[in-house]
Amino acid sequence: MLDSLITSKTRIKLLVKFFSNAGNRGYLRGLADEFNESTNSVRVELNRLSEAGLLHWQNHGKTKRYQANESHPLYQEIRSIVSKYLGFDHLIEQVVHNLGNVKKAIILGDYARGKDSGTIELLLVGEEINSDYLDFLIKKTEEKIQRKLRVEVKDFVPQEALSGLVVFEKEEA
């Protein structure tokens, strides 16, 4: 879907990296290595996204460190598009409804760091999770989003142990 709108694969990788998780940061050589792309192609796209105001950078020694510009007027819309591209929106919608008492859903691993590795790691924190229905949802969701899904369910996880992208959190009454 996104690749038909945006023809540069490097630009897509950068958008996924920076807009899947606002905390993601990167510098030219690290991004080139991560994407297995030339530094020149990554530099061109970083410059384009920076000139458009979608990314901003800070000097750290001799390197520039880039991150998404959360104050850009299109930030939320681009984040939503990236979320749909990765399948997060459908995944969360399917997982949270009718599954039991889900308190939190957290994306871990590569996707939390903005890397589209093909396997989504999801941690569900809650009680009385219907495991049969969860297995059914995992299979259906994998078919729909065309990515592998690894789900772990825990009753409780201390707040300080949570180091992923929180995509759902039940409001306490």
Six-digit token pair at 34? 């991560």
Q: What is the CATH number of the domain that holds 95?
A: 3.30.460
Of 77, 95, 113, the domain-final residue = 77
Q: Does the pLDDT of residue 1 top 60, yes or no?
A: no
Check whether residue 66 and residue 91 sit in a common domain.
no
Segments forming the whole domain that contains residue 150: 87-169
Tell me the three state secondary structure of residue 138. helix
Of the two residues 115 and 62, the one the predictor is more confident about is 62
Check whether residue 97 and residue 38 sit in a common domain.
no
Using CA atoms, how far apart are residues 17 and 28, in angstroms rounded to an integer?
13
Considering all CA atoms of the chain, what is the largest pairwise distance in Å, rounded to the nearest integer?
53
Of the two residues 79 and 144, the one the predictor is more confident about is 79
Check whether residue 155 and residue 92 sit in a common domain.
yes
Predicted confidence (pLDDT) per residue in 156-173, tens digit: 887 766 778 887 787 765
Domain total in the chain: 2
